[in-house]
Structure 1
Amino acid sequence: MNRRSWLKLSAAFGAAMFAMSGAQAQDTIKIGEMNSYKNFAAFLEPYKKGWELAVEQVNASGGLLGKKLEIVSRDDNGNPGDAVRIAEELVTREKVSFLIGTFPSNVGLAVASFAKEKKVLFIAAEPLTDKIVWDQGNKYTFRLRASTYMQTAMLVPEAAKLKKKRWAIVYPNYEYGQSATAAFKQLIKAAQPDVEFVIEQAPPLGKIEAGAVADAIAAAKPDAIFSSLFGADLAKFVREGQTRDLFKGVEVFNLLAGEPEYLDPLKDESPVGWWVTGYPWYAITTPEHKAFAEAYQKRFNDYPRLGSIVGYATVQSAAAVIKKAGTLDTEKLVTAMKGLTHSTPLGNITYRPQDNQSTMGAYVGKIGLKDGKGVMTDWYYADGAKFLPSDADVAKMRPAE
């Protein structure tokens, strides 16, 4: 073969490959996903399995708009600056249709700001800060999980029943913990005006000096403790507090501590009697949850965590809005998100048009021990729709679009 013939063949081959890659791209809907996988592995490894299962099910049922669904996933390192850079890369280089994900509240807020600036739909999966849908809410950002305000509001009625006057508060000192603390103070004061906040401890996230924190709280002699600690910080606080008998005769309320990600590692050290929000996967018998749990266990040979639910439901939301909009046009997707209702393993949820917050609820109960492991007892499902502020209050908090 002479050089001219070889060049023609090479050019033809290159054109064919380009055409094939273009056709392949046209057959795929790409969604950009980012999360702090290395930083929060306990929650986000199950989360990733959850969204992988949902994608497999979507594609097995025929895909979306006649195309396969593809998630382009990146680790944002738990850093707002990195997250914005990655979001830009996903949108401009990877040509994703929209964005999903994030875990820490500060990262979620950074990506929400990016979504507003670039006019890109963003379904925030996990960041719990109230600001993402209220104070700093924007047209393009929607949030799946029940917020700090919502989950705190679910615990406050149980707290108010006890009529405890002297409260200690301990929280991780970043957006999530600050938001949870503000919500608790507001809601418990409204329910019980005579409460006193005798001490606050706000250790940096992941760097708690648990012994010193426990000593300081004990010295304040509270009747009750409200905590939004989670992960390793929670485990250290539980162990140091138990060593010092901090929790004897003191009622404790803790956001998230009933989630398997954070409860399971404590094993027989689980703090019996604490009121918590969480996920008693082993005892939920609704048809939608049973179908999800069976599929998850079959696929991964493991039981689901709350992260599994969040990852799965996030892709369910993404699929539902694409089906409803019938297009990948951003403005039509945003319009379709408002009032979007779809099923999840926890039941039906709706994204409220007034604030872009979903009505996904949470399980409320107490921690008990069974077979040397922590479990949730006396639990019930709190419907998120019942723990949200009024339309009038939302209008005061949320910037006009």
Structure 2
Amino acid sequence: MFSVRLHTALFAIFAFTAASAPARAADVIKIGELNSYKSQPAFLGPYKKGMELAVEQINAAGGVNGKQLELIVRDDNSNPGDAVRAAEELLSRDKVDVLTGTFLSHVGLAVTDYAKHKKRFFLASEPLTDKIVWAEGNDYTYRLRNSTYMQVAMLIPAAVKMNKKRWAIVYPNYEYGQSATATFKTLLKEAQPDVEFVAEQAAPLGKIDAGNVVQALADAKPEAMFNVLFATDLAKFVRAGSQRNLFKGLSVVSMLTGEPEYLDPLGRETPEGWVVTGYPWYAIDTPEHDRFLKAYQERYDDYPRLGTVVGYNTILSLAAGIAKAGTTDTPALIQAFKELEVDTPFGRIKYRGLDHQSTMGAYVGKLAVKDGKGVMVDFQYVDGASVQPPDELVRKWRPGAGG
């Protein structure tokens, strides 16, 4: 197994004799990254800083295979067509060695398909749709962030424990929201066959009519709710729901809401008691996270968001894979990433050879308000490996999946 040890003998696996002369083009590994920076700044601003911190640390420690890392970033305008054009530009004009990035699931799927046709390695850092590694997965694409299936599976035990029969669902109406909703309904029904889904509201991404959505949900008189909204849609929904007392006595499980980029703007309006996935950076007590947190705060005089960790882990993963492969050639990278292990601020993760999904996990806990701010309490880290579907299901969903 191959792993990267953070900060202690930092990146010693990349050992080489450092040249004193300025880096030449042949001495640089170009990482081409594309993302929705303009439309999703809350997540992707910190994400970019996380990438930059990792690049700085790796280069200061000698680089990878004797070469320095160079990050070249493009905006995909949250549009699949623009994303493909940005990827083409990165490869043809900027001559990048590998592709990475994307945030929105439908954009990630477009670049996944592009990587397949171009036969170039692509590490999807953030998009959550299961299709990237299952139905539309391919040999050329790996994915870092835990999928919609994995995050839903993390919340199912809490949903079942609530023992509620009448459920409502609200989600953004695009691939991520649709995928999360379908998985939640399937997994909850399997665990609790008598549940009923009495209301389902699909809001246009970034354009929620919060008042009407809240009223429609309230009219159905649910006992519990599954929320998949994030960013500005979430803030509008929470405000409207609080004003209309939707959440009073309502049990809620919610994806992403505990991430600082979405939780912090809620402030005193944070709905207490929701069970959420998130990132309680202020209360994680592990040596690997402590080192990461200290380095980030010293570099940026700010606290990390979940996006920071995703960006940081993206670069660590690429560095580890390239070091293991000994090259940036696509066939070698594909093989190197199979069962690749990487030590991260969340602990060690592994990229499964079966479906190219990493085992990066997430924190699950409850929302509370402390000193006027939303926080996660009673949380625990859920290892992504523990919420993967059985291998036989993966092989069914992804024909030709390897071992």
Alpha-carbon distance, 1:65 to partner: 1.3
Q: Counterpart in 1 of 2:347? A: 347
Q: C-alpha separation between the residues in 2 aligned to 1:162 and 1:285?
A: 29
Q: Counterpart in 1 of 2:126? A: 126
Are positions 1:325 and 2:361 aligned together? Answer: no
Indicate if the aligned counterparts of 1:214 and 1:241 stay in contact, CA closer than 8 A: yes
Q: Counterpart in 1 of 2:14? A: none
Q: Counterpart in 1 of 2:188? A: 188
| Letter paired with 2:32 | G
Q: C-alpha separation between the residues in 2 aligned to 1:201 and 1:252?
A: 15
- DSSP-derived class of the 1:233 partner: helix
- DSSP-derived class of the 1:171 partner: strand
Indicate if the aligned counterparts of 1:137 and 1:399 stay in contact, CA closer than 8 A: no
- DSSP-derived class of the 2:234 partner: helix
Q: Unpaired segments of 5 or more residues in structure 2?
A: 1-21
Q: C-alpha separation between the residues in 1 aligned to 2:347 and 2:262?
A: 23
Q: C-alpha separation between the residues in 2 aligned to 1:234 and 1:75?
A: 24
Q: C-alpha separation between the residues in 1 aligned to 2:31 and 2:269?
A: 41
Q: Unpaired segments of 5 or more residues in structure 1?
A: 1-21
Deviation digits for residues 255-303 of structure 1, max 9, x if unmatched?
0000000000011110101110000000001111000000000000000
- DSSP-derived class of the 1:247 partner: coil
Q: Counterpart in 2 of 1:359? A: 359
1:272-311 correspondence to structure 2 within 5 Å: 272-311=272-311
Indicate if the aligned counterparts of 1:136 and 1:399 stay in contact, CA closer than 8 A: no
Q: C-alpha separation between the residues in 2 aligned to 1:306 and 1:204?
A: 24
Q: Counterpart in 2 of 1:16? A: none
Q: Counterpart in 2 of 1:239? A: 239
Q: Counterpart in 2 of 1:5? A: none
Alpha-carbon distance, 1:175 to partner: 0.3
Alpha-carbon distance, 1:370 to partner: 0.7
Instruction: List 4+ stretches of structure 1 deviating above 4 A.
Output: none
Q: C-alpha separation between the residues in 1 aligned to 2:130 and 2:328?
A: 28
Indicate if the aligned counterparts of 2:256 and 2:276 stay in contact, CA closer than 8 A: yes
Q: Counterpart in 2 of 1:270? A: 270
Q: C-alpha separation between the residues in 1 aligned to 2:264 and 2:165?
A: 31
Q: C-alpha separation between the residues in 2 aligned to 1:23 and 1:348?
A: 31
Q: Counterpart in 1 of 2:382? A: 382
Are positions 1:139 and 2:139 aligned together? Answer: yes
TM-score by length of 1: 0.94
Alpha-carbon distance, 1:399 to partner: 3.1
1:1-400 correspondence to structure 2 within 5 Å: 24-400=24-400
| Structure that is richer in helix per residue | 1
| Letter paired with 1:388 | Q
Query: What's the C-alpha RMSD, in Å, of the aligned pairs?
Result: 1.0
Q: Say which one has the larger Rg.
A: 1
Indicate if the aligned counterparts of 2:23 and 2:68 stay in contact, CA closer than 8 A: no
Q: C-alpha separation between the residues in 1 aligned to 2:387 and 2:329?
A: 33
Deviation digits for residues 14-71 of structure 1, max 9, x if unmatched?
xxxxxxxx97211111010001000000000000000000000010000111111001
| Letter paired with 1:224 | A
| Letter paired with 2:234 | L
- DSSP-derived class of the 2:239 partner: helix
| Letter paired with 2:50 | G
- DSSP-derived class of the 1:331 partner: helix
Alpha-carbon distance, 1:400 to partner: 2.1
| Letter paired with 1:147 | S
Q: C-alpha separation between the residues in 2 aligned to 1:399 and 1:40?
A: 33
Deviation digits for residues 165-185 of structure 1, max 9, x if unmatched?
000000000000000001100
Alpha-carbon distance, 1:92 to partner: 1.4
| Letter paired with 1:307 | G
Alpha-carbon distance, 1:328 to partner: 1.5
Q: C-alpha separation between the residues in 2 aligned to 1:328 and 1:99?
A: 11
Higher mean Cα deviation, 323-332 or 103-112? Answer: 323-332
Deviation digits for residues 312-338 of structure 1, max 9, x if unmatched?
000000000011101111100110011
Deviation digits for residues 136-159 of structure 1, max 9, x if unmatched?
010011100111110000000111
Once the two structures are aligned, what percentage of the paired residues are identical?
Answer: 66
Q: C-alpha separation between the residues in 1 aligned to 2:121 and 2:58?
A: 20
